[in-house]
Amino acid sequence: MSSIQDKNNEHFNNKAHEYDNIPMAKEMTAKASETILAEFTASTSEEHVRNSTVLDFGCGTGLAAFLVAEKVAHLVGVDASSGMLEHLRKKLDTLPELASLKAANKIHTINHLVTDASPLPEPDFSKYLAGENGGFDMVFSNYVLHHIEDVQGVVDTLGKKIVKRGGWVIVLDFEGHHVHGGVDHGHEHHGHDHGHSHGHGHGHDHAAHAHGHDHSHSHGHGHAHGDKKNEHEGLVKVDDIYKDEEGKPLEFVAHKGGFNTENMTEIFTKAGLVDVSCSRSFGFFRELRGTQVWTDVLVAKGRRP
């Protein structure tokens, strides 16, 4: 286990009980879940989605898992953080609106660090992955990969050992972060003309961050703004917004500048996936220590041949 993974586990174990209350967490995750389901449906059919078995990689406290589970036959959530999964299971036991999901046995959780050598532990490996037709119809993650040092290795495992042949891997993560001009960060101005994230009224994950996880972490999220093109004028890209109150880089975030469509496309292609596409999906403002930070989110998907 890498040192970054250790720090991730420590952070999310400590934050699990308050993760769902991070500003913008539910809104960000709701938008991510909506996007994942739309991309999956567009790649297959509504009937296939309803009958599918899917895996939420880095499911965290279940904010995205609960929303996606409503639309599929069965969902497996896997996470290396025992604290996050403990909070997820507690919600399954105590929240009335999730009772139907539990009764239908639609959500199964696995506390496991996914690796190439051990994609899933037994008996789950034999149940879900073994055999020529083993694997999930769709594997997704939102706001998780920027926490992971070896992104190529993870996508390789998702695309070659966890998703079934003909199945889809769909990932959402941060593309870039921007602040209003005035401070020269040495980066180009970046215009945006796409819609903002809006809350959907149902709870679930967020923040994505990573895990379905928040991702603002200890960085508080701001509020979504109206769809006004001129709100994006004068924004300057910054590659490192993940710092603590003392200005030190947060050690549990491996890719502080996010990703771009080119490198994510390359990662998916190198993993052997086909019909690969990657594009900017949506964006939102969040507040970081008194500064309004615009964050773009990209969506990447590919099919296992």
Residue 157 in tokens? 């495992």
- Is the per-residue pLDDT at 194 higher than 80? no
Average pLDDT score over residue span 216-225: 35
Neighbours of 48 (CB within 10 A): 14
Express as a percent the part of the chain with pLDDT over 70: 64
Residues 6+ apart with CB under 8 A from 152: 267, 270, 271
Length of the chain measured in residues: 305
Average pLDDT score over residue span 261-290: 90
> What pLDDT does residue 92 have?
87
- Is the per-residue pLDDT at 215 higher than 60? no
Neighbours of 51 (CB within 10 A): 13
Residues 6+ apart with CB under 8 A from 246: none
Residue 137's Cβ-count burial label (10 Å; 0-12, 13-18, 19+) is buried
Where is pLDDT greater, at 246 or 28?
Answer: 28
Rounded Cα–Cα distance for residues 110 and 8 (Å):
17
Where is pLDDT greater, at 225 or 261?
Answer: 261
